[in-house]
Structure 1
Amino acid sequence: MVKNKILFILHLPPPVHGSSMVGQYIKDSKLVNQEFDAEFVNLGTSKSIDEIGKNPLKKIRTYFAILINCISQCASNRPNLVYFAMTAKGIGFYKDAFLIFFIKLFRVPLVLHFHNKGVSTRQDKWMDHLLYRFVFKDTKIILLSSHLYADIEKYVSKENVYYCPNGIPEIATPIKTNGNKLNRVSILFLSNLIASKGVFVLLEACKMLKEKKFDFNCVFVGGIGDVSEEQFYAKRKELGLEDIVVYKGRKYGQEKEKAFAEADIFVFPTYYHNETFGLVNLEAMQFSLPIISTYEGGIPDVVVEGVTGFLVPQQNVEALAAKMELLLNSSELRQKMGVAGRVKYEKEFTLTAFENKMTHILTAVLK
């Protein structure tokens, strides 16, 4: 049987970030390569996080090499479908729109996959509006969650939208440990130190709980963002949390898994404007951790209120502290929610589930 040809234009690592990892999962997928005759073009113009925003001339050359590669693939291989991992706004959107202009010249069916959001924040700008109308015309869209449809509803009808939640690889042995030697309930925050990820909100909630004499510790894991290490420690000191709050820096591989394994509760009180899914919540679910997060992006699809954890209003310290208090008070509730989260992960958010869903969507678009 002749396979349908799909040209995948997507981000691949390095650098490592959510979109590039999903791109790598698609490229490495046995199922995708089994079902389709796949070719891949890497959209990345930076080879590391440090290169982002630097070396503009080098990036321009790389970008035009990508453009020529895309045109060549469309002209010579004549794909039945082009899959494009689209940037929703800003310079990345303008670059992607320019590529899509040339792709559309070949009249190849196009499906756009968004790992970010922001269309609705730019749609009132006349140039962006015209570009969105052009880009979205006669295209199919893949979103991470139905909660993200409002971002593009001005340009795309619901029948042209598919939903494919992210999945992550199974960890070999996500076993809880007894690494918490202080025998306290351990709360984990894992993300870069970015204010809008809820760093200071969580610290303020910890202060409220300490004043209520709860015995716990809170571990922060992640790289430096717009909150410096000095600022973090200064805030910790200001709130009197030196004895219960620890910052352990960035962790990878087994060290990151150890941080999850030693935790009892995972807290991710994000209000980051570009948050779409929160992959860290899936990682916490692998370790059967109850989760407290916020109503942002597609997170309500991951954290089921009152079942696998709690969702609180953004930047609401009192609401966050109240839900943390419920979990600190009840090991039974922590265990019940953690088990429910693990079951939900195994059912909906494995890499196999992602590959199956993506393959089903691409097949449906081709038909």
Structure 2
Amino acid sequence: MTINDTYRPKVLFLMHLPPPVHGAAMAGNYIKNSNRINNKIDGTYINLATNKELNLSGKGNFKKIVTFFAIIKNVLLTLKKCNYQLCHMSLTASGPGFYKDLVLVYLLKRRKTKIIYHFHNKGVAAASQNRLNNWLYKYAFKDTWSILLSPHLYKDVSRYVSETNVFYCPYGIPISENDCSKKVEKQNKICNFLFLSNMIEEKGVYILLDAIKKLKNDKVNFHCHFVGGWSDITPIKFDNYLKLNNISDVASAHGPKYNKEKESFYLKSDVFIFPTFYHYETFGIVNLEAMQHCLPIISTPEGGIPDIVVNEKTGFLVPKKDSQQLAERMKLLADRPDIRKEMGIAGKQRFEELFTIEKFEERLSDILIKACEK
């Protein structure tokens, strides 16, 4: 089947949309609102989210069950109205979310709808050690394609998917209207570190706090700002940790911030810190946001992050859960504004070359059209 320039293939998108705000939901929102994608694809969009609060993710309740049955009904009615050439599905890699999504996979396969999975998390390899999960994955992946954010993530699905059936599509984000070059030229007397992500222990919050203790003991002139929605780390837990470790004067949390408020933190910061060891981490969109604001990044080699942060060029990659090495890199950047500037500019250039929203939209639309032609 060949698709000409005037024909738009019909694609059903089953994806997560905000709220809550997380990587998969942000990507889903970009896709749904993309003129570039929707000019090439005749898309129908169904939201797979069953809750609107981050702290409810992975937890069952009656309201979520009702919402899921409404999603099933919506999918069934939508499939009856139209024969789609492809279903683009944001499949949860493991856990309760995978079992829930598998119901929709079954409905799609009964209708003989071609499926391309778009993975925004990982966990297939670990979960497949269970015999039942192994069988379910074999069923789910049979005769399908997959979109991964990075070649580093292929090993997670390699047991079930030939690499010939895999497409790679890293995230991209809109370019900020603010010019960060002036901020780079005018360095702050105090080094402002920024952590911006959901306040989840596996995102490395306590690892960073431990590094902060070391920096204070070394009399480094800095302040670290934490921005993000509260989750398994609550405001009380966070404040108690600061008081117990006598670091309330060098660290503060500001809760979730969006749009201009969030951007103001990037603009006021000198270094971005993302010491994640989150087992579902695949990419880290926040790293892209930091790069486009000319911030050097200190992160970990989790998931596809090595595709974003070039070690010793646009920032540093430190071992997961290693607060000592994290503190050493933070001290280096706090003491050397010249290195901060050099890395920040290199990161901005890398962002503009590879990770703009236009690059993401072009890659994804090309992938979907190729999948429809197969």
1:261-287 Cα offsets, whole Å, 9 max, x none, are: 111111111111111111111111111
Number of aligned residues = 366
Matched, 1:79 2:78: no
In the TM superposition, 1:88-167 aligns within 5 A as 88-167=93-172
Contact 2:55/2:232, CA 8 A, preserved across alignment? no
Matched, 1:65 2:70: yes
SS at structure 1 position matched to 2:310: coil
Partner in structure 2 of residue 233 of structure 1: 239
SS at structure 2 position matched to 1:16: coil
SS at structure 2 position matched to 1:226: coil
Contact 1:14/1:20, CA 8 A, preserved across alignment? yes
Q: Which runs of 5+ in 1 are unaligned?
A: none
Contact 1:116/1:275, CA 8 A, preserved across alignment? yes
More deviation in 59-68 or 21-30? 59-68
Counterparts in 2 of 1:51 and 1:123: CA distance versus 1, 3 Å: closer
Distance in 1, matches of 2:332 and 2:187, equals: 23
2:281 to 254, 263, 275: 275
Instruction: Specify which structure has the bigger relative contact order, considering alpha-carbon pairs within 8 angstroms and separated by 6 or more residues.
Output: 2
Alpha-carbon deviation of 1:7? 1.1
Structure 1 length-normalised TM: 0.93
Distance in 2, matches of 1:42 and 1:211, equals: 48
Among all aligned residue pairs of Structure 1 and Structure 2, give the percentage whose two residues are the same amino acid: 45
In the TM superposition, 1:160-179 aligns within 5 A as 160-175=165-180
Distance in 1, matches of 2:279 and 2:297, equals: 20
Partner in structure 1 of residue 257 of structure 2: 251
1:226-277 Cα offsets, whole Å, 9 max, x none, are: 2232332332233332332222232222221111111111111111111111
Distance in 2, matches of 1:118 and 1:344, equals: 28
Matched, 1:9 2:9: no
Alpha-carbon deviation of 1:50? 6.5
Contact 1:148/1:298, CA 8 A, preserved across alignment? yes
Partner in structure 1 of residue 24 of structure 2: 19
SS at structure 1 position matched to 2:90: strand
Alpha-carbon deviation of 1:346? 1.2
Moved segments of 4+, more than 6 Å: none
Distance in 2, matches of 1:272 and 1:54, equals: 18
Q: CA RMSD in A?
A: 2.1
Q: Which runs of 5+ in 2 are unaligned?
A: 1-5
1:211 to 211, 217, 223: 217
Distance in 2, matches of 1:106 and 1:129, equals: 23
Matched, 1:189 2:217: no
1:24-82 Cα offsets, whole Å, 9 max, x none, are: 21111111111122112221222444665778444333323322332333333111111
Distance in 2, matches of 1:247 and 1:45, equals: 28
1:285-319 Cα offsets, whole Å, 9 max, x none, are: 11100000001111111111111100000111111
Partner in structure 2 of residue 308 of structure 1: 314
In the TM superposition, 1:254-265 aligns within 5 A as 254-265=260-271
